[in-house]
């Protein structure tokens, strides 16, 4: 009996090692489906724009670091989603809009720079002027209309959606940016939060109904650290700045407020749909740690100027932005956290992605969440195999 027990233990340990060790971190993901705004846009705004009115992301120095040409990303190189694609062993996700003869078998992106979570009509009624009509709802409708071309039959589409990692943004930031840019009171902007959360939640719910099984849902950034806000709300009152980061405390507090409400809603959805993996991506703290200890991550110290811009203490000007004629970028973007005053550099995005993918800024942890369904399948198979082995003994 002792030898039999030893053999059983050996089989269990061998099978366990087989389950948890894999060269591909998330082998069950066959594609990435993305929604969101400029944080996730890989070229959709450029694809939707008139050739005579292209956004600045269509021009150098955007894209200079990695791709060596503009791609429509609001960055000098790769964005968070690109690092996620690398992590799960999939190609960079192509933009859907404006694409011709693109292969979407491994992923499709509907995120559009300037997009909002809420409908344009809703925002306009509240005196907020959106910069695009492509809201989250419009992106979802576009996705649904594209399904016959993406996957064919309803059953094939359900399988495709079920085997995909679905990225829900970041989305909602512009719903707050536009009124904050107009200096609307924070209490007025806070009133938008429940509606933004509801829009994200309803989109996730609808995608679950279409077969979605794994969602990565980012929270808000520490916007009080953003160059655009540090410029717009610059003040001589030192009490408004966090001494450990140099960021505006009240704006960061707002980012925390949104993220807490979002986390509460995701917890509610998890209880309703226990078979679905809903992963919260803590963009806030994954980025804030860089502002607290920039040298630790290879960045220059405060005041964190934009790499690409001109003028002022933060190298940013509202009338002459990155991509405009005569506006140059820094020599080494890898030393800068901010790229163009609003978005981060590839170097910063890489650290944010690392915090999400390798921890500790994902809940539940990303690697375990994305492997959960695969482990369950492997476990069922290995339990059967183990049982057969034991019977033979």
DSSP string, 146-167: HHHHHT-SHHHHHHHHHTEEEE
Two structure tokens written together for 89: 């062993």
Residues annotated catalytic, as ranges: 38, 340, 343
The span from the CA of 293 to the CA of 300, in Å, is: 10
The span from the CA of 136 to the CA of 133, in Å, is: 10
Place of tokens 């910063």: 348
pLDDT at 379: 33
- 280: three-class secondary structure by DSSP: strand
Q: What is the pTM of this model?
A: 0.86
Two structure tokens written together for 58: 């269509």
373 within 8 A of 19, measured Cβ to Cβ: no
The span from the CA of 80 to the CA of 309, in Å, is: 22
Omega before 364 within 30 of 0, i.e. cis: yes
Place of tokens 């407020």: 257
Kindly list the averaged pLDDT for each block of 10 residues, start to end, along the chain of length 393.
44 38 56 98 96 94 97 98 96 91 89 98 95 95 95 94 96 98 97 98 98 97 98 97 96 98 98 97 98 95 90 92 94 97 98 96 75 37 34 31
Pairing of strands 362-363, 214-218: unpaired
31 within 8 A of 107, measured Cβ to Cβ: yes
pLDDT at 389: 33
Please name the residue ranges forming H helices in the chain.
Answer: 2-20, 44-48, 80-87, 120-125, 136-150, 154-162, 173-181, 186-190, 193-209, 227-232, 249-272, 283-292, 346-357, 366-392
pLDDT at 152: 85
Of 112, 78, 74, which is closest to residue 353 (Cα–Cα)? 78
The span from the CA of 269 to the CA of 211, in Å, is: 15
The span from the CA of 29 to the CA of 166, in Å, is: 10
The span from the CA of 374 to the CA of 294, in Å, is: 37
112 within 8 A of 37, measured Cβ to Cβ: yes
Place of tokens 């400029």: 38
Two structure tokens written together for 98: 């404006």
Helix, strand, coil tally for the chain in percent (to 5): 50, 10, 45
CA 50 from centre of chain: 27
Element (H, E) at 99: none
Two structure tokens written together for 202: 């309803």
DSSP characters over 301-370: -TT---SB--STTTT--SSS-TTSTT--B-S-GGG-SBSSSSSB-HHHHHHHHHHHHSSSSEES-HHHHH
Question: String of b and e for 108-127 (b: at least 16 CB within 10 Å)?
Answer: bbbbbbbbbbbbbebbeeee
The span from the CA of 338 to the CA of 284, in Å, is: 15
The span from the CA of 357 to the CA of 366, in Å, is: 6
342 within 8 A of 113, measured Cβ to Cβ: no
- DSSP-assigned beta bridge partners for residue 281: 218, 362
pLDDT at 393: 30
The span from the CA of 262 to the CA of 83, in Å, is: 23
Two structure tokens written together for 115: 């997009």
Tell me the backbone φ, ψ of residue 74, rounded to 5 degrees: -85, 65
pLDDT at 7: 41
Two structure tokens written together for 186: 């924070």
- DSSP-assigned beta bridge partners for residue 214: 165, 277
């Amino acid at each position: 009996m002792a030898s039999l027990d030893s053999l059983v233990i050996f089989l269990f340990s061998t099978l366990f090692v087989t389950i948890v060790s894999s060269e591909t971190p998330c082998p069950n993901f066959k594609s990435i489906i993305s929604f969101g705004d400029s944080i996730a846009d890989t070229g959709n705004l450029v694809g939707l724009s008139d050739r005579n009115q292209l956004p600045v992301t269509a021009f150098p120095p955007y894209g200079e670091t990695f791709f060596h040409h503009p791609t429509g990303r609001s960055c000098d190189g790769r964005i968070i989603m690109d690092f996620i694609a690398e992590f799960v062993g999939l190609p960079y996700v192509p933009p859907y809009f404006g694409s011709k003869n693109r292969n979407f078998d491994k992923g499709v992106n509907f995120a559009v720079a300037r997009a909002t979570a809420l409908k344009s009509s809703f925002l306009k009624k509240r005196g907020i002027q959106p910069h695009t009509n492509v809201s989250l709802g419009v992106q979802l409708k576009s996705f649904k209309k594209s399904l016959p071309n993406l996957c064919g039959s309803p059953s094939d589409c359900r399988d495709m959606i079920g085997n995909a990692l679905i990225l829900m943004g970041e989305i909602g930031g512009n719903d707050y940016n536009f009124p904050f840019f107009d200096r609307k009171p924070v209490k007025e902007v806070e009133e938008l939060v429940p509606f933004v959360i509801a829009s994200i939640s309803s989109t996730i719910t609808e995608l679950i109904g279409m077969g979605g099984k794994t969602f990565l849902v980012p929270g808000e950034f520490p916007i009080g650290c953003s160059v655009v806000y540090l410029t717009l709300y610059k003040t001589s009152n030192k009490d408004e700045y966090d001494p450990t980061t140099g960021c505006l405390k009240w704006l960061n507090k707002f980012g925390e407020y949104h993220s807490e409400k979002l986390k509460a809603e995701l917890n509610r959805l998890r209880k309703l749909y226990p078979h679905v993996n809903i992963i919260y991506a803590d963009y806030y703290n994954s980025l804030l740690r860089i502002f607290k200890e920039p040298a630790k991550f290879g960045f220059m110290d405060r005041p964190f100027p934009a790499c690409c811009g001109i003028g002022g203490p933060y190298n940013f000007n509202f009338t002459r932005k990155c991509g405009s004629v005569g506006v140059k970028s820094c020599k080494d973007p890898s030393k800068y956290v901010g790229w163009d005053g609003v978005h981060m550099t590839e170097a910063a995005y890489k650290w944010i992605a690392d915090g999400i993918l390798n921890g500790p800024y994902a809940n539940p942890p990303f690697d375990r969440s994305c492997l959960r369904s695969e482990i369950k399948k492997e476990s069922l198979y290995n339990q059967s195999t183990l049982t057969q082995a034991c019977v033979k003994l």
